[in-house]
Structure 1
Amino acid sequence: MMEQISDWFWNQDYWLPPGVSWEDMEKVEGPWRPLPRDLFISLPIALGFIMLRYVFERSVALPLSKAFGVKDRVCLKVTPAPNLEAFYTKNSRQPAQNEIASLVKQSSLTHRQVETWFRNRRNQDRPSNSKKFCEASWRFVFYLVAFTTGLASLINTPWFWEQRECWKGYPQQPVQDVHYWYYMLELGFYWSLLLCVSVDTKRKDFKEQIIHHFATIFLLSFSYCSNYIRVGTLVMLLHDSSDILLESGKMFNYAEWKKTCDPLFVLFAVVFLFTRLVVFPSKIIYTTLVLSMEEYEPFMGYYFFNVLLMVLQVLHIYWAYLILKMVYKFLFFGKLDKDERSDVESEPEEEEKEDHSSWRKRNVVLDSSLAMLNSSCVLNNLTQQKAGTTRRLPKAR
C-alpha cells in the first residue's frame, strides 16, 4: 500500500514537464542534481536553527535589549481564585457579561473585581517587550545574512537580470553549491518558524502567518523537486529584502526609539509595496505563467506552482492593506499609533486605556461641576455682600 502511494505521489507526470523522467533528472551534470530525497536535510537544519535561536536570544539578543533600553510592562499579580483560573484556562480568556455574573455567584468577588481579575490575568500572559525584541532580532539577523548571501550568489547569474534565462534548458539545469545550500537553509528556517509558532508571539494575522509558512514550505519543496530553483532563488531574495527592514523596525519600536522607528517603517512600507505588489507579479508571476511556456508545455506542477505564488500574492495584498492603514495614520496624524498586526495579547491594555479614558472623562465632568459650584459660591458671596451693603445704607443715612 505504501509503495503504491509513493509511486502515485512521485509520478513524474505531476512533477516534471511532458517527456522528462526522473532518470533524465539524474543525468543532469553539475555539482548538485535536484532530487526529492535532498529535502530531508532541511529537518535537522530546522532543529539546528531552533537550538541556535535559543542560544542567540539568551546570550546576544537579551543583553542587546537591555543595551537598547527595552522596558517591560509591570503586570499586577492576580489573587489565587481556583474557579476563575479554571474558567480562564478551559473556557475563555474574555468572559461575557452573563458569564461574569455566574462567576460572581461562585466566588466572593464583586462584578468589578472579577473583570479586573481577568484583565490582570490576561496581562500576565502577554509577552514582554524583551521577548518580542529577542524574536525580532533573531529574524533580523537571519534575513540580513540570507539576503546578503543570496544577493552575492545571484547578482552575477544571467537569470537575475533576464528572467527568460530561468527556463533555458529547463528542467535539466545544474544546481550550484551555493544555491543548493541557500535553498536548504531557507527551507530549514521556515520549518523552524512553523515548529516554534506555538511559543512565539501571536498576532492578529496569526492564521495568515500559518498559511504563509505552509505555502512557503510547499513552494520551496515543490520548486526544488521540479527544479524551479532559479526562479525560487529570486522569490526568496525578494521576500528577504523587505523583511530585514520590518524586523529592524520592530526592534526599535520595542525599544521606543521613535525617531529611528518611524523612518524605518516608511522605508519598509516603500520597499514592501514595490517588491510585493510591483516586482513580484510583474517579474516573478509573469515569468512563471507566461515566459515558461516558451520552453515547455503546461503540466500539473506548472499549475500547482503558480497557485502557490497566487496564494502568496493574496497575502501580500492583505498585508499591504494593513501597511497602508498605518501609513495613513502616520501621514495624517504624524505618528504610528499602533501596529495593525499587533499581538493579540495587547487587547487587555487597550481595555485599560478605555478605563483610563473614561476615568479622565469623569475627571472632566467633576472639574466642570467643581467649577460650577465654585462660581455659584462666588455668586452667593456677592449676593450676600450686596444685601449686607443695602442693609447698612439706611443706618449711614
Structure 2
Amino acid sequence: MLDALHELFWWDRLWLPGDLTWADLEDKEGRVYARASHLYITVPYAFVFLLIRYLFERWIATPFAVSVGIKQTVLQKAEDVPILELYYTTRCRNPAQADIDGLSKKSSLSVRQVERWFRRRRRHDRPGVLKKFREASWRFVFYLCAFGGGVVALYDKEWLHDTKEVWTDFPKQSMLESQYWYYILEMSFYESLLFSVAFDVKRKDFKEQIIHHLATLVLLSFSWCVNYIRVGTLVMLVHDASDVLLESAKLFNYAKWEKTCQTLFVLFAIMFMVTRLIIFPCWLIHCTWVYPILFYPAFFGYYFFNAMLVILLCLHVFWAYLILCMIKKFMFGTLTRDERSDNEEEEGEESSSTEDEGERRHKLVKGPAADGKDDKNGCFGCLSPPENICWSKTVY
C-alpha cells in the first residue's frame, strides 16, 4: 500500500512536463541535479539555526539592546490562585463578566480582585521590548545576509535580467553550488521559524504567517525537486528585499529612534509594493504562467507551482492592505495601534496598558472599597488608550 502511494506521488506525469522522466534528472554529462533526498539536511540545519539564534540573541542582541537603552522590564507577578490559574491556562485569558462572577465566588475573591489578577497575569505573559528587539535583530541579520548572498549569486545570471531564460534548456539545467546553498539555508531558516513559533512573539497575523511559511517551504521543496531552481532563487530574492527594511525599522522603533523608524517604514512600504505587488506578479508569475507552455504542454506540476505562487500573492495583498491602513492613519495623525503584525494581545489588552491609571481613577471614584477587599461589586471601567500616542511607538 505504501509503495503504491509512493509510486503514485512520484509519478512522472504529475511533476514533469512532456515525455520527461525522473531518469532525465540524474547526474550525467557533467550536469548536477537537485534531489529530494538533499532536503533532509535542512532539518538538522534548522536546529543549527536555532542554536545560532540563541547564542546571537544572548551574546550580541541583548548587549546591543542594553547599549541603546532597552532593558528587561520586570512586571509584578500575579499572586498564586490555583483556580484562576487553571482557568487562565486551560480555558480563556480574558474571561467574560459572567465567568468572572463565577470565579469570584469559587476563589473567595472580589470581582475587582479577579479582574486585577487576570490583567496582571496577561501583562506578565506579554513579551517585553527586549524580547521583540532580539527577535527582530536575528531576522534582520539573516535577511540582510540572505539578500546580499542572493545578489552575489544572481547578479551575473542571464535569467535575472531576462526571465524567459529561466526556461532555456529546462529541465536539463545543471545546479550551481551557489544555488544549492541559497536554497538549503533559506529553507532551513524558514523551518527554524516554524519550530520556534511556540516561543516567539505571537502577532496579530499569526495564522497568515504560518500559511506563508508553509507555502514557502512547499514552493521551495517542489521547485527543488523538479528543477525549477532558477525561478525559485528569483522568488527568494524578491521576498528578502523588503524584509530587510521591515526588520531594521522595527529595531529603530524599539530603540525609540522615531525619525529613522518612520523613514525606514516608508522605504519598506515602497519596496514592499514594488517587489511583492509589481515585480512578483508581473515578472515572476508571468514567467511561470506564460513561458513554460511555450516549451511543454501544461501538466499538474505547472498548475500546482502557480497555485502556490498565487497563495503567496494573496498574502501579499492582505499585508499590503494593512500597510496602507497604517500609512493612511500615519498621514492623518490617527494611528494609535499596529495594523499589521506586532499586536501580540488580540483580546483588548489596551485596558491593561492603562491599569495603573485605572487603579487610581477607580480609587478616586469608589473610595476605600476600591482596593477590592470590601467591595464585592466593584468593577474596573474600561479606559481608552491615549489618543496622542506616536505611531512609531505602536507600530510592529
> What band does the TM-score fall into relative to the shorter chain?
0.7 to 0.9
Does the C-alpha gap of structure 1 residues 227 and 174 become closer, same or farther in structure 2, counting only changes over 3 Å? same
Match of 1:33 in 2: 33
> How many angstroms apart in 2 are the aligned matches of 1:350 and 1:127?
15
**Deviation at 1:71?**
3.7
Match of 2:305 in 1: 305
Q: Structure 1 residue 135 and structure 2 residue 135: aligned?
A: yes
The answer to whether the 8 Å contact 2:159/2:165 transfers is yes
> How many angstroms apart in 2 are the aligned matches of 1:362 and 1:89?
28
Equivalent runs, 1:171-182 vs 2, <5 Å: 171-182=171-182
SS of residue matched to 2:304: helix
**Deviation at 1:217?**
0.4
Match of 1:323 in 2: 323
**Equivalent AA in structure 2 for residue 137 of structure 1:** S
Query: Could you tell me the percent identity over the aligned residues?
Result: 49
Does the C-alpha gap of structure 1 residues 364 and 163 become closer, same or farther in structure 2, counting only changes over 3 Å? farther
The answer to whether the 8 Å contact 2:163/2:283 transfers is yes
> How many angstroms apart in 2 are the aligned matches of 1:247 and 1:167?
34
Does the C-alpha gap of structure 1 residues 105 and 361 become closer, same or farther in structure 2, counting only changes over 3 Å? closer
Q: Which has the higher helix share?
A: 1
Match of 2:9 in 1: 9
Does the C-alpha gap of structure 1 residues 325 and 71 become closer, same or farther in structure 2, counting only changes over 3 Å? farther
Match of 2:150 in 1: 150
> How many angstroms apart in 2 are the aligned matches of 1:153 and 1:223?
18
**Equivalent AA in structure 1 for residue 287 of structure 2:** T
Higher-Rg structure is 1
SS of residue matched to 1:139: helix
**Deviation at 1:260?**
1.4
Match of 1:261 in 2: 261
Match of 1:77 in 2: 77
TM-score, normalised via structure 2 length: 0.87
**Equivalent AA in structure 1 for residue 278 of structure 2:** V
**Deviation at 1:39?**
1.2
> How many angstroms apart in 2 are the aligned matches of 1:125 and 1:324?
30
**Equivalent AA in structure 2 for residue 63 of structure 1:** P
> How many angstroms apart in 2 are the aligned matches of 1:358 and 1:77?
18
Unaligned runs of 5+ in 2: 366-396
**Deviation at 1:73?**
4.0
> How many angstroms apart in 1 are the aligned matches of 2:363 and 2:338?
26
> How many angstroms apart in 1 are the aligned matches of 2:68 and 2:348?
26
**Deviation at 1:219?**
0.2
Unaligned runs of 5+ in 1: 366-397
**Equivalent AA in structure 2 for residue 6 of structure 1:** H
Question: What is the total number of aligned residue pairs between the two structures?
Answer: 365
The answer to whether the 8 Å contact 2:26/2:32 transfers is no
Q: Structure 1 residue 273 and structure 2 residue 263: aligned?
A: no
Match of 2:114 in 1: 114
Match of 2:194 in 1: 194
**Equivalent AA in structure 1 for residue 311 of structure 2:** V
The answer to whether the 8 Å contact 2:245/2:265 transfers is yes
Does the C-alpha gap of structure 1 residues 126 and 330 become closer, same or farther in structure 2, counting only changes over 3 Å? same
Match of 1:341 in 2: 341
Q: For 1:40-84, what per-residue CA distance to the aligned partner results, in whole angstroms no more than 9, with x for missing partners? A: 111121111111111111111111111121144442221111111
**Deviation at 1:296?**
1.4
